[in-house]
Amino acid sequence: MFKNIRHYGVCLHRYAGLMMTLFLVVAGLTGSIIAFYDPLDQMVSPQLYQVSESDKRLQMIDPLVLRERLLAKYPEIQVQWVPLKPTDNKAIRFSITPSINPSTGESYQLTYDELFVNPYTGDIQGKRMRGKISDGIENLIPFLFKLHYQLALGQVGAYLMGVIGLLWTIDCFIGACLTFPRKTRQQAAQKEKRASRFIWLKRWLPAWKIRMHSTNRYKLNFDLHRAVGLWTWGMLFVLAWSSVAFNLNKEVYQPVMHFLFETQEMRPEALRQLQPNQHPHLSYAEAKSVAERYLNVYNPQHLRQVQPFGMSYLPKLGVYQYRFVSNQDISSSRGNTRLFIHADTGKIVDVYVPLGKASGDTFTTWIRTLHMADCWGVPFKIFISVMGIVLSMLSVTGFIIWFRKRQAQR
């Protein structure tokens, strides 16, 4: 019985690995680069980000004012997300979506989806279609991000990478189980004894070792695949399951997490207040004032605002989302604490706390933050970059193991 289960496990691990090899190599290599997305993008495209020293002597313009100026100058665009965090003397990057042409009722066709605005003068320093590598070198890092996230194939590629992430998550457990030592008659006879667990661990220990002195290349390749996979198993699982969270969030991740853990959901009475609204009564500035006043007066759930991160309008729900870095965030640079403000009444509809309120959301916050290397500074970014190379190495060594065995069988 055990032999049959192990045989099926080997087959699943082998063929799942073969299916994922190319995708994981691409994801690993691109991930090792985009762990340093912002500094690399600024290095490759300095003309988009750099602000002159003379401009820095001026007072910084409120990002909400910059948004209004953009909308007045370009009626064909929408700016739903507004970054509110200080940009360290760099241009502000606004994400752009097309607005509706009133004469045709259809969306405008845009040749760009990002605008870079000087926060001191309001001048536009550049435009680009994010990830369109044919437009020039300034799209290199965004292209690598799209390659990592969706193979640069749009939504179809995102779903495909989500399926790969799900298969990878399952394969993490199969691969780990295959490293366990096989049962022996002696161990079966001693399984009731307390000492048997130590015997089992002692027999499992070689799986964690690499025979560096071995002259057999196959053994060295096999040890690299098995031992390094065990050493990094926890982080590999985090990367795999968080990939499902990014790419198949509503389809797979949320239902599974809701079944296994407690998660924050908008209250039914709050949901009844919401409906699609394309023309909100409150402006962005008014919604921001409501959020700041609420945080200063009520201090909900002992939240302390460290700094604002950004805000957006969600027309499908008719609410503003105000995001800020709080004492309940892991990252000090990317705020995940959120207030939802009714766009007509100005009432606080709901509060989302990333840590401590619901176990499922705490887990999700951690794995997303770890995947994006958004904590613990440069050392952890280097670690994630190395993990990308390790992932590629594991995929290649797994392919070599299969190829050598197939040659031997022939």
81 pLDDT more than 70? yes
Model pLDDT for residues 189-203, shown as the tens digit of each residue: 455 455 566 787 888
Q: Quote the pLDDT of residue 226.
A: 94
- Over the chain, what is the mean pLDDT? 89
Residue type, 337: T
Phi, psi angles (nearest 5°) of residue 312: -150, 165
Q: Is the dihedral angle over the CA atoms 278, 282, 285, 288 positive or is it negative?
A: negative
382 pLDDT more than 70? yes
Pairing of strands 97-98, 77-78: antiparallel
395 vs 9, 13, 28, 168, 208, CA distance in Å?
A: 17, 12, 9, 11, 18
188 pLDDT more than 60? no
Q: Quote the pLDDT of residue 3.
A: 62
Vertex 115 angle, CA 110 and 116, to 5°: 160
Q: Which of 227-236, 297-306, 398-407 has the highest mean pLDDT?
A: 227-236
Going from N- to C-terminal start, the domains of the chain cover 1-40+146-263+387-410, 41-145, 264-357
275 pLDDT more than 90? no
Phi, psi angles (nearest 5°) of residue 341: -115, 125
Query: Quick one: average pLDDT of 223-245?
Result: 96
CATH of 264-357, one of 1.20.58, 3.30.310, 3.10.450, 3.40.50: 3.10.450
- C-beta pairs of 136-139 under 8 Å, 24+ apart in sequence: 137/44, 137/45, 138/44, 138/45, 138/47, 138/48
Mean pLDDT check: name the lowest of 27-36, 197-206, 296-305, 349-358: 296-305
pLDDT bucket at 87, cuts 50 / 70 / 90: confident
Model pLDDT for residues 11-44, shown as the tens digit of each residue: 999 999 999 999 999 999 999 999 999 999 999 9
410 pLDDT more than 90? no
pLDDT bucket at 298, cuts 50 / 70 / 90: confident
Q: Quote the pLDDT of residue 301.
A: 61
- Per the model's pLDDT, the better-predicted residue between 103 and 285 turns out to be 285
316 pLDDT more than 60? yes
pLDDT bucket at 390, cuts 50 / 70 / 90: very high
- Per the model's pLDDT, the better-predicted residue between 167 and 182 turns out to be 167
46 pLDDT more than 90? yes
Q: What is the DSSP letter of 79?
A: -
Cβ contacts of 123 within 8 Å, gap of 6 or more: 117
